[in-house]
Structure 1
């Protein structure tokens, strides 16, 4: 049986944590920072984890992730 392929876009954007959650960067910070509030920018620092329904989709595209 051939190897299963990992989606290249997923391996660049997501990581799987040790507990099996999907870690990703905060959305909405690439451009348009002038119109964002300081509170939004502050709260969108760092990384976040995806919700379970979204994580299920991503995990299906990353068959060899833990």
Structure 2
């Protein structure tokens, strides 16, 4: 049986933590930044955890985890 391939886009976007949770970066911080307030841009920095309902979907895209 052939190896299962990971979705390479998902591989770049998600990281698995030791606790089984998945972290991701926030979106909307790449372009059209002039109309966004400083507070908006500051709050979009950093990483957040994926909701529990989406973890199953992310694991399907990355079968190695």
Q: TM-score, normalised by structure 1?
A: 0.85
Equivalent pairs counted in the alignment come to: 65
**Bigger proportion of residues as helix:** 1
- Out of 8-17 and 49-58, give the one that drifted further: 49-58
**Deviation >6 Å, runs of 4+:** none
Q: TM-score, normalised by structure 2?
A: 0.86
In structure 2, the gaps of 5 or more residues are none
What is the alpha-carbon distance in structure 1 between the residues aligned to residue 19 and residue 43 of structure 2? 24
Q: Return the offset for 1:32.
A: 1.1
